[in-house]
Structure 1
Amino acid sequence: SHLPDLTIITPVFHQSDKEKPVFFVANRGHHADIGGLTPGSMPPNSTTLLQEGAQFLSFKIVEQGQFKEKGTNRII
């Protein structure tokens, strides 16, 4: 993968056990521009990963069924 591929992963629980996920669901979306030196990704003249675009550490956007809008907006 590369920087423009943003992935969201969420656990799915069985109604009888809310503690242990039964499986996980993932969705990956490719974004045309993520803020690097040039539109797109992997500009040939970049010398650091930061020059290729924005980097995000993993973070929760939903917790306990609630969208964490303020925290998400602060990060992005």
Structure 2
Amino acid sequence: SHLPDLTVITPVFHESDKTKPVFFVASRGHHADIGGLTPGSMPPNSTSLFEEGAQFLSFKIVEQGQFKEKGTNKII
């Protein structure tokens, strides 16, 4: 994959047990530009991954059913 591909993984719970996920669903979206040196975020002359666009470590955007708006805004 490459930087413009962002992946979201969502746990799915059974109604009888909300404490342990039954399985996970993954969704992937492609962004045309993620802030690199050139439009399209894939500069042919980049010398490091950081020149290709924004870097995101894994983080939760929802916890205990609540959107973590403050933390998400801080990261992006």
Runs (5+) with no aligned partner, structure 1:
none
Distance 1:38 1:44 in 2: 9
Distance 2:71 2:7 in 1: 18
Count of residue pairs the alignment pairs up: 76
Distance 2:68 2:54 in 1: 20
1:26-41 superposed matches below 5 A: 26-41=26-41
Query: Percent of aligned positions with the same letter in both sequences?
Result: 89
* Paired letter, 1:4: P
Distance 2:71 2:20 in 1: 26
1:1-76 superposed matches below 5 A: 1-76=1-76
SS at match of 1:41: coil
Q: TM-score, normalised on structure 1?
A: 0.94
CA RMSD of aligned residues (A): 0.8
Distance 1:36 1:42 in 2: 7
